[in-house]
Amino acid sequence: MDDVFRALADPSRRRLLDELNARNGQTLRELCAVLEMARQSVSKHLAVLEAANLVTTVRRGREKLHYLNAEPINAIADRWITRYDRRRARLFADLKTALEQQTMSDTDFVYTTYIRTTPERLWRALTEPQFTQQYWGLHHETDWQPGAPMTWKMGDVTMAGAGQKVVEHEPYQRLSYTWHTITPEFARAVELSAEDEAATRAEPLSTVTFELEPDGDQVKLTVIHTGFEPGSRIRSMVSEGWVKLLSDLKSFTETAEALQDA
């Protein structure tokens, strides 16, 4: 937590977060132009923010895009909020809300968390049905080969459709697949309104990618969910769901005895 508070203490770094909050996924050049700061200064501030996990970077070709990451603020709010008086708690809640809402304004969702485990155990938690069922409430039927079809199973609900497939499969490093089709039975199960069902079924399939990177006794997990159209209803739904799901994944992976024995 100390790194987060130190990073937030500097007004220039707060300006950078504000700028990413307004428009996520910017390059270093774009941030320098908007903030009218020297490239070296912006680079140093971004390095501090990235070290505190307040900024996540994703490479797209030759460019490196910067995304504001809400996970440390969520951790502060969840673990420390009771130590502050009501006024300060409200300020933290407002900041937490602002950081989470930024994921609603863009066409990508990017979120990074650190999980105290190994890449092998985290990989099993992400891919093996007996584990995904415990923290996610569903499992995937596939052989995990790139291009292979995927069927999602949530209790008695089946989600399958054209284009629903594995995109990348690099064990313990990178996993990518298309998000599931909005089927009528899924819409009924989650009680989507007729309007939301029609709108979400009309959207193209998006793609989620999990990037795993060892970091001491932890694994840096970055989730990149892309392919949404502007104003996507699915994106507004999953961006809220991802925060809770990744928190559940973290708790499960760090405590599940079956994984610890693996």
Residue pair 108/224 in contact by the 8 Å Cβ criterion: yes
Model confidence over 224-248: pLDDT tens digits? 999 998 889 898 888 878 888 998 9
67-71, 92-96, 121-125, 153-157: segment of lowest average pLDDT: 92-96
User: Residue 69: helix, strand or coil by DSSP?
Assistant: coil
**Backbone CA torsion sign across 92, 70, 104, 11:** positive
Please state, in angstroms and rounded to a whole number, the distance separating the CA atoms of residues 105 and 24.
Answer: 8
Residue pair 16/49 in contact by the 8 Å Cβ criterion: yes
pLDDT of 167 reads 97
**Average per-residue pLDDT in the chain?**
85
pLDDT at 107 over 90: no
Residue pair 53/112 in contact by the 8 Å Cβ criterion: yes
Question: What is the Cα 219 distance to its own chain's centre?
Answer: 14
User: Residue 254: helix, strand or coil by DSSP?
Assistant: helix
195, 210, 196, 194: which is closest to 242 by C-alpha?
210
Q: What is the DSSP string of 146-202?
A: TT-B-EEEETTEEE--TT-BEEEEETTTEEEEEPPP--HHHHHHTT--HHHHHHHHT
Between residues 241 and 73, the one the model is more confident about: 241
What domains are defined for the chain? 2-104 (1.10.10.10), 109-260 (3.30.530.20)
Structure tokens at 224: 């990149």
Please state, in angstroms and rounded to a whole number, the distance separating the CA atoms of residues 200 and 187.
Answer: 9
Model confidence over 182-228: pLDDT tens digits? 999 999 998 999 999 999 999 999 999 999 999 999 999 999 999 99
87: phi then psi, degrees, rounded to nearest 5: -65, -45
Please state, in angstroms and rounded to a whole number, the distance separating the CA atoms of residues 6 and 11.
Answer: 11
CA angle 151, 155, 161 (to 5 degrees): 25
Structure tokens at 243: 């925060």
2-9 and 71-80 helices cross at what angle (nearest 10)?
120
Between residues 95 and 168, the one the model is more confident about: 168
14-28, 69-83, 107-121, 168-182: segment of lowest average pLDDT: 69-83
Regarding pTM above 0.95, the answer is no
